[in-house]
Structure 1
Amino acid sequence: MLPGCCKNGLIISKTPLIQEGLKGVITGNFPDYKLAYCRTIEELTLLQLRRSNLVIADLAVNNASPRAICEYFYSLLSQYRDIHWVFLVPKSCYPHAVDLLMGPVSTLLSDEEPIENLISVIHAGNARSERISKT
């Protein structure tokens, strides 16, 4: 990417409060990111994914089973390897997320993690991915 070019981020969360909170954190700490938003995985488009450098996905995005949500994102991980994937993992998804979503382009953070850890993960990018939070 050329210096000064805008990076594209995508926030996937069904909760407006989480979307707005993440928007504030990203725009406040990473002004070079242009953000797009989806409330559910059904709203997600291939064009959004092709443009994205960063995806922050709240795994509580809909009422599907935790395993089904993780399997859906697993299929995307293998297709979009240039994206840094950050998954916000609720306790109900934890075992499935570890099993399916850990990899060289992803980071798993507990949905109870301090926001500073999310900022650090984004700063590190894929250089320090394949991590999982300890909470």
Structure 2
Amino acid sequence: MLQGYNKQAIVVSETPLIHTGLQNVVDSHIKQMGLLHFSDVNSISYNELIRTSVVIVELGGDEQKLVNECETFYSLINQFREIHWIFLVSKNCFAKAVEWLMRPETTLLSTCESIDSVARAILLGSQKVERISDSLLTSEVEKGSEEEVHPLLTISEKQVLRLLGKGWGINQIAQLLKKSNKTISAQKHSAMRRLSLKTNADMYAWINSFQGLKELNLLSMYRDTEKWKNWVVN
């Protein structure tokens, strides 16, 4: 455990499920650390920041909002160099995040990163984690076309993916929903096509990413699962 984890952490996000998921991480694995929740960086006081070890921020919004946020955090990073700043960054925010926020004190993680990866970044600290997640670097190297905006999943597709994410099999889902195995499989594969996922491994990686957990409303279930009780940092 790093020095300073008797202090507190701060999470800044407009997404309630991000707050829930990170609270579960802290409650399960960093019990001596308090977690303060803010939807807006401007609500954080100086006194709260000087007692803070880690700040986890979800970046997003339109271009002007993103620029304003980056300017604010750039200033704060310069003032509070002892804080480890972890930014959850979507692909379309990546270039701005690198331009404004890539510093020795910061880590950039994809919003599609798994909960485990975010928890590991908190526990290991800025000196031991990868500074930019591989998925962000890969998307930057391979860019050449605009990022696709995936169409929303249908209610049935979300329902199937949500149950798969909770450990149900195709047969069990079919019995629960009183549908045929063929229908459930078709809805699963339709959802995968919408999300451009080619394999079951890709599908489960997406389900267990922040993006997937948010869309499927699965973050809140982590408190009660063995996944959190048995989670160990490698």
TM-score above 0.5, yes or no: yes
**Preserved contact between residue 73 and residue 101 of structure 2 (Cα < 8 Å):** yes
Structure 2, unaligned runs of 5 or more:
136-234
Q: Which runs of at least 4 in structure 1 moved beyond 6 Å after TM superposition?
A: none
Shift in Å at residue 7 of structure 1?
A: 2.0
SS in 2 for 1:108: strand
Q: Corresponding residue for 1:107?
A: 107
Shift in Å at residue 6 of structure 1?
A: 2.5
Query: Which string of whole-angstrom CA distances, capped at 9 and with x for unpartnered residues, describes residues 66-98 of structure 1?
Result: 222112111110000000111111223210101
Q: Corresponding residue for 1:75?
A: 75
Structure 1, unaligned runs of 5 or more:
none
Q: Corresponding residue for 2:50?
A: 50
**Preserved contact between residue 9 and residue 34 of structure 2 (Cα < 8 Å):** yes
Q: Which has the larger radius of gyration?
A: 2
**Preserved contact between residue 84 and residue 105 of structure 2 (Cα < 8 Å):** yes
Query: Which string of whole-angstrom CA distances, capped at 9 and with x for unpartnered residues, describes residues 11-65 of structure 1?
Result: 11111111111111122121111111111122121111111011011113x6653
TM-score by length of 1: 0.87
From the two aligned structures, give the one with the greater strand fraction: 1
Matched, 1:22 2:22: yes
Q: Distance in 2 between matches of 1:132 and 1:71?
A: 20
From the two aligned structures, give the one with the greater helix fraction: 2
Q: Corresponding residue for 1:95?
A: 95
Percent identity of equivalent pairs? 37
What's the RMSD between the two structures over aligned residues? 2.0
**Preserved contact between residue 85 and residue 106 of structure 2 (Cα < 8 Å):** yes
Q: Corresponding residue for 2:121?
A: 121
Q: Distance in 1 between matches of 2:89 and 2:77?
A: 16
TM-score by length of 2: 0.52
Query: Which string of whole-angstrom CA distances, capped at 9 and with x for unpartnered residues, describes residues 87-112 of structure 1?
Result: 11122321010111111111000111
Shift in Å at residue 130 of structure 1?
A: 6.8
Which residue identity is paired with 1:65? K
Shift in Å at residue 115 of structure 1?
A: 1.1
Provide the aligned length of Structure 1 versus Structure 2.
132
Q: Distance in 2 between matches of 1:4 and 1:121?
A: 15
